[in-house]
Amino acid sequence: MMCLSYIEQKNTFWWLKLNGLLRYALSHTCSGMLPLYIVNEYPKSGGSWVAQMLSEILEVPFPRNRLPMLRSSIAHGHFRHTWNMHNVVNVWRDGRDVMTSFYFHCTAPNNRFNQGLVSQTLKDLVFNDVGDVEANLPRFIEYMFEAKKHPRFTWAEHVDRWNGRPGTIQVTYEQLRIEPEAHLARVLWELTGRDPSAERVRATVERYSFENQTGRKPGQENRLDFLRKGIVGDWKNTFSREAREVFHRYAGAQLIALGYEQDDSWV
């Protein structure tokens, strides 16, 4: 298993299937023993960023885009089931920003690790102009909630299953963007029962900042980059009235449950 973890991701059905099965098995059987530190998210919520920072401070490997490891490490994923999972950090993000970010992720032609996802999405939706984000988002949002192809559950279902779940640590992308050091330190304390060094936390936050990883300031967009824009509230630049109504129909209640809105007036 440890040797397998050094095999980089292959964009094939069987590699992805094996990776998913191994992550599922380890996370549901070994997370409390190795220990395995699980970073769980709905895609495009900032989980990879959190996993990188935890790996740095806890000094355990994060086998990103590789098979998981049978040793103490970071396991990052999009887990649907909750049984027998320990050391879980659930990362939340405003579902409207998730949909905006996921749109670019699912339509970017150079997405080397998800070429199958991009091909399937464009085949299913057949956009006249992929660059017309505002016009395409309503149909894309509906597709994400109805088709459930990747992942095979919706953002709303993820919220209903994981929000406030006992024994899990909850943190939001927005908290980490606004006060990264304070919230990263909190997560580490809840995860290990130990206060991390403030200097270590500060250095880690700086190392994995959007600026250091991309060479761009937050808000400077590169639509072809995995780290596209790095800001909070970008949905306001892309959501038409129709997109608001579609998202509200599928996940308005969950948006309120997570505290991103107080009522339906945002629609």
User: Running along the chain, 267 residues long, what does each successive block of 10 average in pLDDT?
Assistant: 50 72 89 92 95 96 85 92 95 97 85 77 93 96 94 96 96 96 97 94 91 65 54 91 98 98 97
Question: What pLDDT does residue 110 have?
Answer: 67
**Which phi and psi (to 5°) does residue 250 adopt?**
-90, -30
Question: What pLDDT does residue 117 have?
Answer: 85
* Beta-bridge mates of residue 170: 90
Distance CA 246, CA 240 (A): 10
Domains and CATH numbers, the chain: 4-93+164-211 (3.40.50.300), 95-156+222-257 (no CATH)
Kindly provide the b/e burial profile for residues 168-198, where b requires at least 16 CB atoms within 10 angstroms of the residue's own CB. Answer: bbbbbbbbbbeebeebbbebbeebeeeebee
User: Which 3 state secondary structure label does DSSP give 2?
Assistant: coil
Kindly provide the b/e burial profile for residues 99-130, where b requires at least 16 CB atoms within 10 angstroms of the residue's own CB. Answer: bbbbbbbbbbeebeebeebbeebeeebeeeeb
Question: What pLDDT does residue 1 have?
Answer: 44
